Amino acid sequence: MGWNIISALVENKPGVLFRVSNMFRARNFNIESLSVGPTEDKDLSRITVTIESDENVTEQLVKQLRKLIDVVEVTRLATDQTVYRELALIKLKAADPTSRTEIVNLANNFGGKVVDTSKGSIMVEITDTPDKIDAFKGLVEHYGVIQLARTGVSALPRGAFND
């Protein structure tokens, strides 16, 4: 069992996301993360799905996705040949100056930045791989996580178009 990224180029029409996510549901498969957004072509969107599965199951899911109407292209992306990132917003308790300073220093070490502060909290934005976000979260949890939002993975293969 491993972590896999599947990228689907789909027609930008209502109901496509439902059909794609429903295909996973119908096969009783949990989606770890899902991101959807426009591409360089206004008529197409890219759906990026991350799943925990073995090789055979992942290949089967890719084949099933290719059969769906409105799906133009499906690619399984190898993590070592892919640039993939996720954005997280983490609101933490930070009532005293020492906590604030420590959180800011940790955020800086992870390439994050403080995007909001209030009397009792501080919000950090961090964009990185999911494991780096998990590592940052692990280091700041003891301050008290008030809220957390993650976008899901966005990914593109490395190199030129036809490499």
Domains of the chain (ranges, CATH numbers): 2-77 (3.30.70.260), 84-155 (3.30.70.1150)
CA distance 22 to 24: 5
What pLDDT sits at residue 161? 61
Percent of the chain's residues with pLDDT above 70: 98
pLDDT of residue 3: 87
Q: What are the tens digits of pLDDT across the range 116-143? A: 999 999 999 999 999 999 999 999 999 9
Q: What is the mean pLDDT of the chain?
A: 94
Q: How far is residue 26 from each of residues 1, 9, 22, 52, 67, measured CA to CA in Å?
A: 20, 21, 6, 16, 14
Which tokens belong to 133? 């976000």
Let me know: does 87 contact 127? Beta carbons within 8 Å. Answer: yes
CA 38 to CA 9: how far, in whole Å? Answer: 10
Give the global pTM.
Answer: 0.88
- Across 111-118, average pLDDT: 97
Residue pLDDT, tens place only, 7-37: 999 999 999 999 999 999 998 889 999 999 9
